[in-house]
Amino acid sequence: MDDRLEQLIDLHGADLNSWPDRELAQEARQAAMSDPQFRRRLDAARRVDKSLSALASALDDSTAMRTSSSAMQAALLDRIDAQAQRRRAFSWRSLSRLAAGIVVACGLGIGVGQIIPDQDIAQNDAFDELLLGSGDSTAGPRSG
């Protein structure tokens, strides 16, 4: 078995079509046809290549799933954060609405108090006399 061809198998893999030097690849084909030990070495290299390819594929799938999982996790965290911000905004909004309502009520109370004229005491007494009767009458109930 040619050590140089074994080194090329280790370097370029068992796929002789992917070797850069076509003449060396042809020489390796001829060695595989004539030398059973070289053929076993080439078959072992093919199994290693398939295993490495399967491992690379599994790693790519795992990375894709991890990336997909990370993207889903990030989206979920973004959604939770957005809901928390809406709740905080809702509570500040509610508090500001309550404060605005109190300010409007106070303003209306002051405005109505300024618009309605003050009634003097004489008018209040006259109104009381109409409703309750005369306050200085000592006589009993009126007879009709």
Instruction: Return contacts of 10-14, CB within 8 angstroms, 24+ apart.
Output: 10/45, 13/45, 13/49, 14/42, 14/43, 14/45, 14/46, 14/48, 14/49
Residue 41 has pLDDT above 80, yes or no: yes
Is the residue at 98 inside a domain?
Answer: yes
Confidence of residue 144 (pLDDT cuts 50, 70, 90): very low
Residues 89-139: pLDDT tens digits? Answer: 666 677 788 888 899 888 888 887 777 766 555 556 666 676 776 655 554
Contact partners, residue 140, CB within 8 Å, separation at least 6: none
User: What range does the domain containing 123 cover?
Assistant: 3-132
Domain annotation covers residue 143: no
What gap in Å lies between CA 43 and CA 81, rounded to an integer? Answer: 56
Does some domain include residue 139? no
Whether residue 28 lies inside any domain: the answer is yes
Would you say residue 23 has pLDDT above 80? yes
Q: What is the domain count for the chain?
A: 1
Contact 9, 25 (CB under 8 A): no
Instruction: Choose the weakest-confidence range: 27-41, 64-78, 103-117, 120-134.
Output: 120-134
Task: Give the pLDDT score at 134.
Answer: 61
For residue 33, give the nearest of 23, 20, 42, 21 by alpha carbon. Answer: 42
Quick one: pLDDT at residue 135?
Answer: 54
pLDDT at residue 91, as a whole number:
67
User: Would residue 125 count as lying in a domain?
Assistant: yes
In a domain, 15, yes or no: yes
Higher pLDDT, 88 or 23: 23
In a domain, 144, yes or no: no
pLDDT grade for 45, boundaries at 50, 70 and 90: confident
Residue 142 lies in a domain: no
